């Protein structure tokens, strides 16, 4: 098996010489000619049953060769048999929940989670009763109808880590889904620790350039087949052009993550010393839950930082207003740096008490560090922090008056 840097460049491209191409073919067909009805019917049956491919793709909701190529590449990087791609990270999670619903009605969930994942689970929209628990209580809360355990590590937005192997052990026969979006396959491989489903919002680091919305689930063939069946039935497809762009980003994945991570480590250390900042949460500083997993479960600390402004929400808003190189926007994992306010944006849909209990405070900002020069990033952030320190307190007082 080639090493990661090599796989990242060559995954999903192994048949190029045979095809005599140097870039992946982009197949935009919605339908495919069926000359022989008997083989067409066999292909149709195989795809509806969730096979990864068949002699004839039949119809693009059942199969698309460009999407399948990207899936093979991501499965290779994640170290799983299969990968099933969806139109977004949320569509990917929904497909897993719909499939698990057929096996039981109860799901155990460890907070914090990406805000919309929390909302989807808490709302019961997919027909599952979600019970939010501490990771250490999973064994005790399992029921006969528990069909899934959901964790996210590092967790959005606080960067708390969850011990995947410990959760897998506690869950016993119940499948564990790990949202590994923040880690990417560069930094951790949950399936190698026993996770059944590895979910990525490929919108983030895998795409990496802020121009693709996509989600993937990496798992073994037996768990992939029913997910393809759900995808074919619900139409939660990844468009082939999006799959093409996603594949286009993979060769630089390790380079991007490593550079962004190096920048993040430096920015996190400097943030800790800034007088306007009350606290910095970064796995590499050893100050998030289970930070000891950096170096074992995780091969690095990642490129996301959360930090709290001493002067609360007004100062956080002032930082978002003040940055020039860093973009004040939701999302993460792009080549460029992004900063956002979880309580005001991504995590608004989370129950207020759960926000408090999980450290989603009014002064919290989440910074997704990009691959720019670290000195430019720091200068930009420092001037925004200085400006916020000058005005933040005053604005806060005005807001209260």
Ligand X SMILES: *Cc1c(COP(=O)(O)O)cnc(C)c1O
List interacting residues with ligand X (CB under 6 A). Answer: 88-90, 114, 116-117, 152, 156, 179, 181, 201, 203-204, 213, 215
Nearest distance from residue 208's CB to ligand X, in Å? Answer: 13
Spot the catalytic one: 27, 32, 59, 61: 61
Shortest distance (Å) from residue 157 CB to ligand X: 9
Pick 272 or 351: Cβ nearer ligand X? 351
- CA–CA distance from 285 to each of 46, 159, 258, 279, 393 (Å)? 50, 11, 17, 11, 28
Q: What single string gives the DSSP state of each residue in 318-359?
A: HHHHH-SSSEE-S---SSS-EEE-TTTTTTTTS-HHHHHHTT
Q: Which of 69, 118, 163, 179 is catalytic?
A: 179
Residues written for the chain? 401
Marked catalytic residue, from 13, 204, 228, 313? 204
The H or E element that residue 151 is part of is: strand 146-152
Nearer to ligand X, 106 or 204 (CB): 204
**DSSP of 131-149, one letter per residue?**
EEE-GGGHHHH--TTEEEE
Q: How far is it, in rounded angstroms, from Cα 112 to Cα 176?
A: 16
Q: Which of 114, 197, 244, 282 is catalytic?
A: 114
CB closer to ligand X out of 239 and 274: 239
The nearer residue to ligand X, 116 or 196, going by C-beta atoms, is 116
Smallest distance from ligand X to CB 250, Å: 16
Nearest residue to the partner ligand X, using Cβ: 89
Q: Which is nearer to ligand X, 185 or 215 (CB)?
A: 215
SS3 per-residue string spanning 94-110: HHHHHHHHCCCCEEEEE
* Cβ at position 88, least distance to ligand X in Å: 3
Alpha-carbon gap, residue 22 to 55, rounded angstroms: 24
114 is catalytic: yes
What is the distance between the alpha carbons of residues 312 and 332, in angstroms, rounded to a whole number?
Answer: 22
What sign for the dihedral angle of Cα 81, 86, 90, 94? negative
Rounded CA separation 315/327 (Å): 17
Nearest approach, Cβ of 109 to ligand X (angstroms)? 13
Instruction: Note if 366 is an active site residue.
Output: no
Please identify every residue annotated as catalytic.
61, 114, 179, 204
């Amino acid at each position: 098996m080639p090493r990661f840097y090599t796989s990242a460049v060559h995954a999903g491209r192994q048949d190029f010489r045979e095809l005599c191409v140097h870039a992946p073919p982009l197949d935009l067909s919605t339908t495919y000619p069926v000359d022989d009805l008997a083989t067409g019917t066999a292909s149709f049956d195989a795809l509806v049953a969730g096979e990864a491919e068949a002699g004839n793709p039949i119809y693009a909701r059942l199969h698309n060769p460009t999407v399948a190529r990207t899936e093979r590449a991501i499965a290779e990087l994640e170290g799983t048999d299969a990968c099933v791609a969806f139109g977004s990270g949320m569509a990917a999670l929904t497909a897993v929940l719909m499939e698990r619903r057929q096996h039981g009605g109860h799901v155990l969930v460890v907070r914090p989670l990406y805000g919309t994942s929390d909302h989807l689970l808490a709302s019961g929209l997919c027909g599952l009763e979600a019970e939010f628990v501490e990771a250490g209580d999973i064994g005790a809360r399992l029921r006969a109808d528990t069909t899934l355990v959901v964790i996210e590590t590092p967790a959005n937005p606080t960067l708390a880590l969850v011990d995947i192997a410990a959760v897998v052990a506690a869950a016993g026969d119940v499948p564990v889904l790990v949202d590994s979006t923040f880690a990417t396959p560069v930094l951790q491989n949950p399936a190698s620790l026993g996770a059944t489903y590895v979910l990525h919002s490929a919108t983030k680091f895998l795409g990496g350039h802020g121009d693709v919305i996509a989600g993937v689930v990496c798992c073994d063939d037996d768990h992939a087949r029913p997910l393809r069946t759900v995808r074919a039935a619900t139409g939660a497809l990844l468009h082939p052009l999006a799959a093409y762009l996603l594949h286009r980003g993979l060769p630089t994945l390790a380079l991007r993550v490593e550079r962004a991570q190096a920048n993040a480590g430096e920015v996190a250390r400097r943030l800790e010393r800034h007088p306007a900042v009350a606290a910095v949460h970064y796995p590499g500083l050893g100050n998030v839950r289970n930070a000891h997993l950096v170096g074992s479960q995780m091969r690095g600390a990642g490129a996301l930082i959360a930090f709290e402004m001493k002067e609360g929400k007004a100062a956080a808003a002032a930082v978002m207003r003040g940055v020039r190189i860093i973009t004040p926007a939701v999302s993460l994992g792009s080549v460029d740096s992004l900063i956002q306010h979880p309580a005001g944006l991504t995590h608004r849909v989370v129950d207020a008490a759960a926000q408090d209990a999980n450290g989603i405070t009014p002064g919290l900002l989440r910074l997704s560090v990009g691959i720019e020069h670290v000195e430019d990033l720091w200068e930009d952030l420092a001037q925004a922090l200085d400006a916020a320190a000058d005005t933040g307190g005053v604005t806060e007082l005005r807001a209260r008056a």
